[in-house]
Amino acid sequence: MMSQQEEELLPEDEQKQLALRIILEAWEDALAQGVSAEMIASSAIFAALTDMIEHYGEEAVAEMVAEWPGRIRNSEFTLSQDSQYSS
C-alpha cells in the first residue's frame, strides 16, 4: 500500500525536471548574490552526497561515486561547448 506522500509524487521524469529547474534557479540566485560558481558546486555536491548517504548508506554511495571518474572522462557531465559551465 502506498503512503499518501508517495501517491502525491509527480512522475519521476517530471520530478527530475522540476528539481533541476529549482536547483538551477537557486544556483543563479547564489551567483547574483556574489557566491562563486566553484563554491556553489562544492556545496551542492556536499549536500547531495550527505542526503544520499542518509538514504542509501555510505557503502552504496561510495560504490556509485567510484564509477564517476569513467563517466566524467566519457563526458557524461560535460555540457555543450557553448555553455558557460563547460571547461
Residue ranges of the domains in the chain?
36-77
Provide the 3-class DSSP secondary structure of residue 61.
helix
Q: Are 27 and 40 in contact (CB under 8 A)?
A: yes
- Which single residue is written with the C-alpha cell 529549482? 22
40-64 pLDDT, tens digit per residue, is 999 999 999 999 999 999 999 999 9
pLDDT value at position 86? Answer: 41
Read off the pTM.
Answer: 0.72
Provide the 3-class DSSP secondary structure of residue 31.
helix
Query: Which three three-digit cell numbers place residue 65?
Result: 561515486
Q: DSSP class of residue 86? A: -
